[in-house]
Amino acid sequence: MIRFESDYLEGALPEVMAALESSNFEQTPGYGEDRFCAEAAAMIREKCAAPEAAVHFLVGGTQANFTVIAAALRPHQAVIAADAGHISVHETGSVEATGHKVIALPTPDGKLRAGQIAGCVAEHWADSTHEHQPQPAMVYISQPTEGGLIYSLAELEEISAVCRENSLLLFVDGARLGVSLVCPGADVGLPDLARLADVFYIGGTKLGALFGEAVVITHEALKRDFRYIMKQRGGMLAKGRLLGVQFGALMADGLYERTARREVELAWKLRRAFEAKGWPLLCDSPTNQQFPIVPDEALEKLAEKYSFSEWGRVDAGHRAVRFCTSWATGESDVDELIADIEKL
């Protein structure tokens, strides 16, 4: 079985493993108060052109999402997300488990628009009984989205402006952030995120680390006591250095971007094969996730040798599926898949 169903099916980049190996016997204090974390945080601050940012390392995405949200909101406040957003549908109600409602706004493609955020907030305050509803206080978006789309700089500027006008914090889930930095059409860089968002994270799990998400906080009030909340929510790793070591490796010598670029290139190679085969794409994703709409018989045939994710039935004879490349995807595996597609 050659697996393409997601980008967390293997271990870590050789450079990451090497860094773990080479630091393995060094003694450091626990809980992220070690030199590796300090160094990786400094590298991230520099890449983000955000010398005042707080950088914290968490283990996973769901954890990062609810920890940030719990740290940011008062009990009656809610977070706005797209209906297809990860916190809306794929985290077992983890945000609600911290006491907060996720206000899921409908979107055709998983991307929130500045206008609909403004509308949602305006509607809240216009209601004479707004105290009987959760108060929108944060906006959560993913870059790229669950469906592989990216926000342009113009879109992000607009969303950020709406958030600031309405006292909403802007939180960007960057579980796959790397690919959004390098894919065709990308025009949002780390400094833009640091400038436009109040908090975001740079995903490691899905970009070549064993695990780890680097949370970057630029909003002053949100920095306060963040480590308490990390600890309380189970996100403070005893051997916190493991996160620093991995992010240190990823951030050095452009490894993070290089890895993302390779993932994207292989994904586009697949995309071109889908298009050549006449399989339409569910959405125009420029990232390492591609969503062709494929005849059922073709999928059955492919499934004998390859794994992919089901994304939903499109019509009686066709389903949309996800093919995903990772840091570990072999070019020869991609070529084999393409050859098999051509043969279908």
In the region spanning residues 301 to 320, those forming contacts with a copy of itself, defined by CB under 8 A, are 310
Shortest distance in whole angstroms from residue 173 CB to a copy of itself: 14
d(CA 137, CA 80): 8
In the region spanning residues 283 to 302, those forming contacts with a copy of itself, defined by CB under 8 A, are none
Pick the piece of the chain touching a copy of itself (CB under 8 A) from 179-187, 237-245, 273-281, 297-305. 237-245
Residue 186 or residue 270: which is nearer to a copy of itself going by CB? 270
Q: What angle do CA 31, 173, 195 make, to 5 degrees?
A: 95
Residue 67 or residue 290: which is nearer to a copy of itself going by CB? 67
Query: Counting contacts by CB under 8 A, is residue 332 touching a copy of itself?
Result: no
Cβ atoms of 171 and 138 within 8 Å: the answer is: yes
In the region spanning residues 127 to 186, those forming contacts with a copy of itself, defined by CB under 8 A, are 128-129, 131-135
H-helix segments, the chain = 14-22, 35-47, 61-72, 86-89, 94-97, 114-126, 153-165, 177-182, 190-196, 220-223, 226-232, 241-251, 255-276, 296-303, 331-343
Name the residue with tokens 């409602």.
Answer: 101
Among 93, 115, 119, 185, binds a copy of itself (CB under 8 A): 93
CA atoms within 13 A on the CB side of 243: 30
Among 44, 48, 59, 264, binds a copy of itself (CB under 8 A): 59
d(CA 202, CA 57): 10
Residue 29 or residue 185: which is nearer to a copy of itself going by CB? 29
In the region spanning residues 69 to 88, those forming contacts with a copy of itself, defined by CB under 8 A, are 70-71, 74-76, 78
d(CA 331, CA 340): 14
Residue 32 or residue 114: which is nearer to a copy of itself going by CB? 32
In the region spanning residues 267 to 286, those forming contacts with a copy of itself, defined by CB under 8 A, are none
- 2's tokens: 């050659």
Among 24, 108, 315, 332, binds a copy of itself (CB under 8 A): 24
